[in-house]
């Protein structure tokens, strides 16, 4: 179950970050466009990377990538940055379960 949550949740988070980033990019100060554009690319790439790592049962790497994806420029929608943090927590729980010998989530 953890696998499905992290994989789907990461892709959904990437889509949300991309949509918010692209919709608000036009309002960004020209001096900050490179920084904001880089943050959008980094956050979306990290979220998609988390999904990829989770499909390979590498939940520790997925958690790290999800925490990196928090840099998404969400402006006044900052509360939705809780999504990747919660997904990272699910990934960490999966790592702990695997380390403690509990059956790995499929």
Domain count, the chain: 1
Domain annotation covers residue 3: no
Q: Record the pTM.
A: 0.86
CA distance linking residue 105 with residue 13, whole number of Å: 21
Structural domain including 77 reads: 14-99
Domain annotation covers residue 31: yes
Q: Where are the alpha helices (DSSP H) in the chain?
A: 2-25, 33-55, 59-68, 82-99
pLDDT tens for each residue of the chain, 106 residues long: 778 999 999 999 999 999 999 999 999 999 999 999 999 999 999 999 999 999 998 989 999 999 999 999 988 888 999 999 999 999 998 888 877 766 554 5
CA distance linking residue 17 with residue 80, whole number of Å: 9
Domain annotation covers residue 5: no
Domain annotation covers residue 104: no
């Amino acid at each position: 179950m953890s696998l499905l949550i992290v994989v789907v949740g990461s892709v959904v988070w990437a889509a949300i970050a991309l949509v918010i980033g692209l919709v608000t990019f036009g309002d960004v100060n020209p001096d900050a466009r490179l920084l904001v554009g880089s943050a959008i690319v980094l956050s979306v790439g990290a979220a998609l990377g988390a999904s990829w790592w989770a499909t390979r049962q590498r939940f520790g790497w997925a958690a790290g990538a999800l925490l990196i994806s928090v840099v998404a420029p969400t402006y006044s929608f900052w509360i939705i940055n809780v999504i990747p943090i919660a997904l990272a927590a699910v990934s960490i729980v999966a790592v702990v379960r695997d380390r403690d010998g509990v059956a790995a989530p499929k």
